[in-house]
């Protein structure tokens, strides 16, 4: 009995090994065939999409004979980065091959996995009655995110209001996709964004983040209204966004934000003043080298360095500041500048200055990751 | 009486092995179900474009390095080439006596920057911070020695990302791995940690920080580990996902919410198994504040690491893992079979206690008694068949995981590789399994003695070509 058990266990092992090896070999052959078929379809589609009209028209017939599953698979892979004539031809191909009806049908499916496929390819559908808004308002967040993501820029412009509304979506993925799509739309989105910033109070942080990334000076006047928002993170993002403006217009707002209660807001305001290069503010920035928060002091040092010789002159003045923290930061920045061949105080680098925990008590509101990213880049530029 | 006891030793040992293997088989089935769910969810690559956006959540990759001069530059070059738009790489040189820091400084043209940072978690003193003049995303933290947990904490302090990705200095990360790892954070707001698969690079071809050809390691000792890693990540991680009891995110490759880690107080300095300890603490903390934390393992994002290729180093590594496990189970013993902690307390912790801690001890005792019985004639040699049957069952479950891996990942693309792996799955039961038991018992002994040192691993560097 024991021996039979032994045999049975190892026989099971042997069967599984045979299955594993056999399956692996068959799967290799299958993968080879699929890859070859895919390659052929891809090369045929590349003729169809990128060659002259005459060659392309011949390829339509051949593409129509490719099994729908393979064609769909290849189009899904290709579809991400196409534009212009290639996109128009792809639309034509989906029309003649009947894929458009297929996409429309899938968009009405009760299963989200079907709808997500339709969401991915919806930009290919030219039927004016096709309900894109339904996909953008789909109950499943992944379908909504996918639908937003696959809108082309023209469609993005058409659905701007809906995209702005999606910035308040409960799903992070949808919010992120909507933000990116508005960013893709670019300048044409600015008026709608301005309007939204004035009249909507839901999840404005995403809108302000967009404003910071769109870097359009027209947004500055609207941003002024948010500089006194009750939420510190909104004031901080406003300060970051103001960094894209014209010094003359934004400096007064940023100087006001430099006296904010939140260290994160103060730090972001200082970084933005450095970015717009408002030379009239150098003295005020220098004054903040003695700020309670290290983040603000660091931002002041980096900003003054960025502002060139005027900023570095202020830093040199602070080498004799009675406040040891201001003195220390000024020395560190100037030492760093000296390493880049710019005039510095001395070749000596001070020993590392450790910040006392109690001293940090005032800087509980650390800068947001966005502002921290700005600091990181600023540091990189400085070095 | 003694005769009877010895007579049934083989049956008891075999029964024990079969019971443990059956539990593992259950987890393989659970892993299959989970894999199907993940495939359906991620099939349409929803994140491919979104996560190319500059608005994507910022990730700081933490690379603690101690005596890693051979591999650290390749690792960092690979990380900087990752296709993630909002990335920062923080290398923490943990007081290495070798040339780790200077290798990085010369390769990436690093310069000292304002050495001020916020010590949100206490760590050993930092000597200086460096940034690269060519690559603004790279930061080097040069600090006094304090151990791996301390280095990770220093990295978390300096990091500017919303998420931190902890990897080892000898780890290579697949190009799109971060885009995949971040996805659960976008889908579930209660996600605190996500882990990916770790595979072995030994003897595989590496070019520009990328694994270009994966082969079965030539040395049997490393090949055993390759099989073991495949099984461990499918059974020990993926299988636990649907049960909600994932307790380990590998220290070599895991993504964490920085805020959640800060709230939990960072990595525990005094723990040897700091990666598992952090996950257990995050889960425990979540349950205690009434906001259970979600920890997910994703099989598709892959990182590559070098396995020890000498028995001495491997033995040290395994006894350290064992001490880490005991340490975590002992620190969080209140969670075991405590319904307050959900699946982690009711399923995962008892499983780890039984399968990872008690099982080797029981198996070792049974094997010793069996040997004594055979020598003294108290045990019938035919009893060995039953033990052989149990090991056969264990090997069969391992082949099942290899098959599963082949279906899903197609990691080893050649017939010869699969054949070798199948051979090692069988041989593992006869040689390697017993060795791991010895190392585990050694770890148990050292833990009882209160020894907490890490031991050293000699790096050979990646095979380039």
Give the pLDDT confidence of B234-254 residue by residue, as tens digits. 877 888 888 888 888 887 889
Report the residue from B55, B385, B393 with minimal CB separation from A209.
Answer: B55
Q: Mean pLDDT: which of A184-193, B130-139, B252-261 is highest?
A: B252-261
Q: What is the pTM of this model?
A: 0.77
Top pLDDT among A52 and B218 is at B218
Report the residue from B115, B186, B392 with minimal CB separation from A10.
Answer: B392
Distance CA B272, CA B452 (A): 7
- Cβ within 8 Å of A, B 99-138: 111-120, 125-128, 131-133, 135-137
B297 sits in the region (left: phi over 0; alpha: psi -120 to 50; else beta) called beta
B42 — contact with chain A (CB < 8 Å)? no
Mean pLDDT for chain B? 84
Chain B contact set for A302 (CB, 8 A): 114
Distance CA A157, CA A189 (A): 7
For residue A372, the model assigns a pLDDT of 47
DSSP string covering B15-74? HHHHHHHHHHHHHHHHHHHHHHHHHHHHTT-THHHHTTSTTSPPEEEEEEESS-TTTHHH
Mean pLDDT for chain A? 78
For residue B15, the model assigns a pLDDT of 77
User: In the predicted model, is pLDDT for residue A185 greater than 60?
Assistant: yes
Place of tokens 């600091």: A375
**A178-182, A295-299, B38-42 — which is least confidently predicted?**
B38-42
User: In the predicted model, is pLDDT for residue B126 greater than 60?
Assistant: yes
Contact assignment for A332 to B48 by CB distance below 8 Å: no
**What percent of chain A lies above the pLDDT cut of 70?**
86
B20 pLDDT band, cuts 50/70/90, is confident
To probe the interface with A, which of B8, B15, B17, B50 has the most A CB atoms within 10 Å? B50
Asked whether the beta carbons of A285 and A333 are under 8 A apart, the reply is no
User: In the predicted model, is pLDDT for residue A352 greater than 50?
Assistant: no
Shortest alpha-carbon distance between residue A248 and chain B (Å): 28
Distance CA B65, CA B48 (A): 31
Contact assignment for A173 to B47 by CB distance below 8 Å: yes
Report the residue from B48, B57, B185 with minimal CB separation from A80.
Answer: B48
Give pLDDT tens digits for A23-61. 999 999 998 998 888 888 888 888 777 777 777 777 777
For residue A378, the model assigns a pLDDT of 46
Report the residue from A3, A171, A355 with minimal CB separation from B116.
Answer: A355
Chain A contact set for B399 (CB, 8 A): 13, 16-17, 20
For residue B261, the model assigns a pLDDT of 92
CB pairs under 8 A between A and B: 192
Contact assignment for A298 to B116 by CB distance below 8 Å: yes
Contact assignment for A339 to B111 by CB distance below 8 Å: yes
B60 pLDDT band, cuts 50/70/90, is very high
**What percent of chain B lies above the pLDDT cut of 90?**
25
- Cβ within 8 Å of A, B 173-232: 185-187, 189
Question: How many Cα atoms within 13 Å fall on the side-chain side of residue B184?
Answer: 25
B401-423: average pLDDT: 88
For residue B114, the model assigns a pLDDT of 61
Q: List helix spans (H) across A130-262.
A: 132-136, 141-149, 153-158, 160-166, 172-185, 190-199, 204-214, 220-224, 232-242, 247-257
Contact assignment for A2 to B43 by CB distance below 8 Å: no
Report the residue from B161, B186, B403 with minimal CB separation from A173.
Answer: B186
**Closest chain A residue to B383, measured at CA:** A2
Distance CA A326, CA B269 (A): 34
Report the residue from B49, B136, B410 with minimal CB separation from A376.
Answer: B136
B290-301: average pLDDT: 87
User: In the predicted model, is pLDDT for residue B148 greater than 70?
Assistant: yes
User: In the predicted model, is pLDDT for residue B205 greater than 60?
Assistant: yes
B41 — contact with chain A (CB < 8 Å)? yes
Contact assignment for A176 to B56 by CB distance below 8 Å: yes
**Closest chain B residue to A27, measured at CA:** B407
User: In the predicted model, is pLDDT for residue B189 greater than 70?
Assistant: yes
CB atoms inside a 10 Å sphere around CB A42: 12
For residue A37, the model assigns a pLDDT of 87
User: In the predicted model, is pLDDT for residue B260 greater than 80?
Assistant: yes
Contact assignment for A12 to B393 by CB distance below 8 Å: yes
Closest CA to B76 of B115, B43, B107: B107
- Cβ within 8 Å of A, B 401-460: 402-403, 406-407, 410, 413, 415, 418-419, 422, 425-426
B250-269: average pLDDT: 89
For residue B454, the model assigns a pLDDT of 55
DSSP label at A187?
G
Residues in chain A: 383
Residue A55 tokens, joined: 């060659």
Shortest alpha-carbon distance between residue A357 and chain B (Å): 7
Asked whether the beta carbons of A213 and B56 are under 8 A apart, the reply is no
Top pLDDT among B412 and A203 is at B412
Report the residue from A116, A301, A355 with minimal CB separation from B119.
Answer: A355
- Cβ within 8 Å of A, B 263-292: none
User: In the predicted model, is pLDDT for residue B458 greater than 70?
Assistant: no
A215-226: average pLDDT: 78
User: In the predicted model, is pLDDT for residue A80 greater than 70?
Assistant: no
**Closest chain B residue to A145, measured at CA:** B46
Contact assignment for A21 to B40 by CB distance below 8 Å: no
For residue A356, the model assigns a pLDDT of 41
Distance CA B395, CA A8 (A): 12
Contact assignment for B422 to A17 by CB distance below 8 Å: yes
Contact assignment for A146 to B46 by CB distance below 8 Å: yes
User: In the predicted model, is pLDDT for residue B142 greater than 80?
Assistant: yes
For residue B208, the model assigns a pLDDT of 64
For residue B50, the model assigns a pLDDT of 64
User: In the predicted model, is pLDDT for residue A206 greater than 90?
Assistant: no
B390-406: average pLDDT: 89
User: In the predicted model, is pLDDT for residue A371 greater than 50?
Assistant: no
Distance CA A257, CA A319 (A): 26
A284-304: average pLDDT: 86
Top pLDDT among B5 and B193 is at B193
User: In the predicted model, is pLDDT for residue A155 greater than 80?
Assistant: no
- Report strand pairing: B163-167 vs B172-173: unpaired
For residue A202, the model assigns a pLDDT of 67
For residue B45, the model assigns a pLDDT of 56
Contact assignment for B55 to A183 by CB distance below 8 Å: yes
Shortest alpha-carbon distance between residue B187 and chain A (Å): 7
Top pLDDT among B40 and B313 is at B313
B217-231: average pLDDT: 91
Do the interacting molecules here have an ipTM over 0.85? Answer: no
Report the residue from A3, A21, A146 with minimal CB separation from B418.
Answer: A21
User: In the predicted model, is pLDDT for residue A350 greater than 50?
Assistant: no
B52-60: average pLDDT: 82
To probe the interface with A, which of B160, B257, B384, B416 has the most A CB atoms within 10 Å? B160
For residue B394, the model assigns a pLDDT of 86
User: In the predicted model, is pLDDT for residue A359 greater than 50?
Assistant: no
For residue A364, the model assigns a pLDDT of 31
For residue A42, the model assigns a pLDDT of 83
**Closest chain B residue to A305, measured at CA:** B114
**Closest chain B residue to A330, measured at CA:** B114
**What percent of chain A lies above the pLDDT cut of 90?**
6
Place of tokens 């707001």: B189
A382 pLDDT band, cuts 50/70/90, is very low
A99-121: average pLDDT: 86
For residue A358, the model assigns a pLDDT of 41
Contact assignment for A373 to B41 by CB distance below 8 Å: no
For residue B383, the model assigns a pLDDT of 75
B395 — contact with chain A (CB < 8 Å)? yes
Top pLDDT among A216 and A296 is at A296
Report the residue from B50, B58, B399 with minimal CB separation from A145.
Answer: B50
For residue B280, the model assigns a pLDDT of 92
Place of tokens 């990380």: B79
Report the residue from B40, B118, B399 with minimal CB separation from A13.
Answer: B399
- Residue B279, helix vs strand vs coil: helix
Q: Mean pLDDT: which of A254-268, B8-22, B166-180 is highest?
A: A254-268
A68-92: average pLDDT: 74
**A166-175, A219-228, A258-267 — which is least confidently predicted?**
A219-228
User: In the predicted model, is pLDDT for residue A85 greater than 80?
Assistant: no
B161-179: average pLDDT: 85
Shortest alpha-carbon distance between residue B312 and chain A (Å): 31
A223-250: average pLDDT: 82
């Amino acid at each position: 009995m024991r021996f039979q058990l032994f045999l049975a266990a190892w026989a099971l092992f042997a069967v599984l090994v045979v299955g594993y090896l056999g399956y692996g070999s068959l799967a290799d052959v299958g993968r080879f065939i699929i890859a070859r078929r895919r390659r052929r379809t891809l090369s045929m589609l590349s003729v169809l999409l990128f060659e002259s009209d005459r060659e392309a028209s011949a390829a339509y017939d051949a593409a129509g004979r490719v099994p729908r599953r393979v064609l769909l698979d290849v189009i899904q892979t290709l579809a991400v980065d196409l534009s212009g004539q290639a996109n128009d031809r792809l639309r034509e191909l989906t029309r003649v091959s009947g894929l458009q009806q297929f996409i429309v049908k899938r968009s009405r499916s009760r299963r989200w996995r079907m709808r997500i496929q339709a969401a991915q390819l919806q930009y290919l559908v030219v039927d004016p009655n096709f309900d894109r808004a339904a996909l953008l308002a789909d109950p499943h967040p992944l379908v909504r995110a996918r639908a937003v993501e696959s809108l082309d820029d023209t469609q993005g412009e058409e659905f701007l209001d809906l995209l702005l509304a999606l910035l308040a979506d409960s799903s992070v993925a949808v919010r992120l996709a909507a933000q990116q799509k508005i960013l893709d739309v670019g300048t044409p989105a600015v008026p709608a964004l301005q309007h939204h910033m004035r009249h909507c109070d839901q999840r404005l942080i995403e809108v302000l983040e967009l404003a910071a990334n769109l870097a359009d000076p027209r947004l500055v006047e609207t941003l002024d209204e948010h500089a006194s928002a009750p939420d510190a993170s909104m004031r901080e993002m406003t300060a970051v966004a103001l960094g894209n403006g014209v010094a003359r217009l934004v400096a007064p707002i940023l100087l006001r934000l430099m006296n904010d209660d939140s260290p994160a807001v103060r730090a972001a305001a200082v970084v933005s003043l450095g970015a717009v290069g408002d030379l009239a503010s150098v003295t005020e920035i220098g004054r903040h080298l003695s700020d309670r928060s290290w983040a603000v002091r660091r931002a002041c040092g980096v900003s003054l360095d960025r502002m060139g010789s005027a900023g570095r002159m202020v830093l040199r003045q602070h080498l004799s500041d009675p406040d040891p923290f201001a003195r220390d930061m000024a020395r560190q920045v100037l030492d760093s500048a000296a390493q880049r061949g710019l005039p510095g105080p001395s070749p000596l680098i001070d020993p590392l200055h450790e910040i006392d925990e109690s001293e940090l008590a005032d800087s509980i509101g650390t800068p947001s990751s966005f502002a921290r990213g700005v600091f990181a880049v600023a540091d990189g530029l400085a070095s | 009486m003694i005769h009877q006891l010895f007579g049934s030793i083989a049956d008891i040992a075999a029964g024990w092995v079969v019971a443990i293997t059956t539990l593992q088989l259950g987890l393989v089935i659970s892993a299959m179900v989970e894999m199907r769910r993940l495939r359906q969810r991620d099939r349409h690559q929803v994140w491919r474009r979104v996560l190319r956006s500059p608005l994507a959540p910022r990730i700081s990759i933490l690379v603690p390095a101690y005596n890693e001069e051979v591999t650290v530059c390749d690792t960092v070059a690979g990380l900087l080439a990752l296709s993630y738009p909002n990335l920062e790489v923080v290398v923490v040189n943990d007081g290495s006596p070798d040339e780790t820091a200077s290798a990085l400084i010369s390769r990436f043209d690093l310069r000292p920057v304002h050495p001020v940072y916020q010590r949100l978690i206490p760590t050993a003193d930092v000597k200086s911070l460096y940034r690269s003049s060519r690559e603004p995303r790279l930061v080097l933290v040069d600090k006094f020695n304090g151990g791996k947990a301390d280095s990770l904490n220093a990295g978390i302090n300096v990091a500017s990302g919303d998420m931190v990705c902890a990897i080892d200095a000898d780890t290579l990360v697949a190009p799109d791995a971060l885009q995949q790892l971040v996805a659960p954070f976008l889908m579930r707001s209660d996600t605190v940690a996500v882990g990916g698969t770790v595979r072995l690079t030994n003897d595989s071809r590496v070019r520009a920080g990328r694994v270009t050809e994966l082969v079965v390691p030539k040395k049997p000792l490393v090949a055993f580990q390759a099989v073991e890693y495949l099984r461990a990540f499918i059974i020990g991680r993926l299988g636990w996902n649907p049960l909600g009891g994932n307790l380990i995110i590998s220290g070599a490759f895991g993504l964490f919410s920085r805020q959640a880690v800060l709230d939990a107080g960072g990595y525990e300095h005094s723990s040897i198994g700091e990666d598992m300890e952090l996950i257990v603490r995050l889960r425990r903390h979540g349950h205690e504040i009434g906001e259970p934390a979600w920890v997910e393992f994703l099989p598709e994002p892959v990182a590559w690491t070098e396995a020890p290729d000498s028995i001495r180093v491997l033995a040290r590594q395994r006894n350290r893992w064992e001490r880490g496990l005991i340490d975590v189970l002992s620190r969080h013993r209140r969670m075991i079979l405590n319904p307050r902690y959900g699946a982690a307390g009711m399923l995962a912790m008892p499983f780890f206690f039984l399968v990872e801690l008690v099982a080797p001890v029981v198996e070792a005792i049974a094997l010793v008694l069996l040997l004594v019985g055979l020598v003294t004639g108290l045990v019938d040699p035919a009893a060995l068949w039953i033990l052989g049957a149990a090991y056969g069952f264990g090997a069969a479950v391992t082949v099942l995981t290899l098959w599963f891996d082949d279906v899903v990942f197609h990691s080893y693309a050649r017939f010869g590789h699969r054949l070798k792996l199948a051979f090692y799955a069988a041989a593992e039961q006869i040689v390697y399994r017993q060795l791991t038991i010895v190392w585990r018992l050694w770890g148990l002994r050292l833990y009882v003695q209160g020894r907490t040192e890490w031991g050293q691993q000699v790096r050979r560097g990646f095979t380039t070509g």
